[in-house]
Amino acid sequence: MGVQAQKVWDGSYNQKEKEKLLVRFFPNPAINFINFEFREMPPSGSSLQIYSFLGRQVAIAPVNARRITVNVSELFRGLYVFQIITPSGKIFETNKFQVSH
Per-residue pLDDT of the chain (101 residues), as tens digits, is: 444 443 333 445 555 555 566 899 999 999 999 999 999 899 999 999 999 999 999 999 999 999 999 999 999 999 999 999 999 999 999 999 999 98
What is residue 23's three-state secondary structure?
A: strand
pLDDT of residue 22: 84
Burial of 29 (0-12, 13-18, 19+ CB in 10 A): middle
10 falls within a domain: no
CATH number of domain containing 78: 2.60.40.3580
Query: E strands of 1-101, at which residues?
Result: 23-26, 33-38, 47-52, 57-62, 67-71, 78-85, 91-99
Model pTM score: 0.79
95 falls within a domain: yes
Domain containing residue 30: 22-99
DSSP H/E element including 15: helix 15-20
31 falls within a domain: yes
pLDDT of residue 9: 39
2 falls within a domain: no
45 falls within a domain: yes
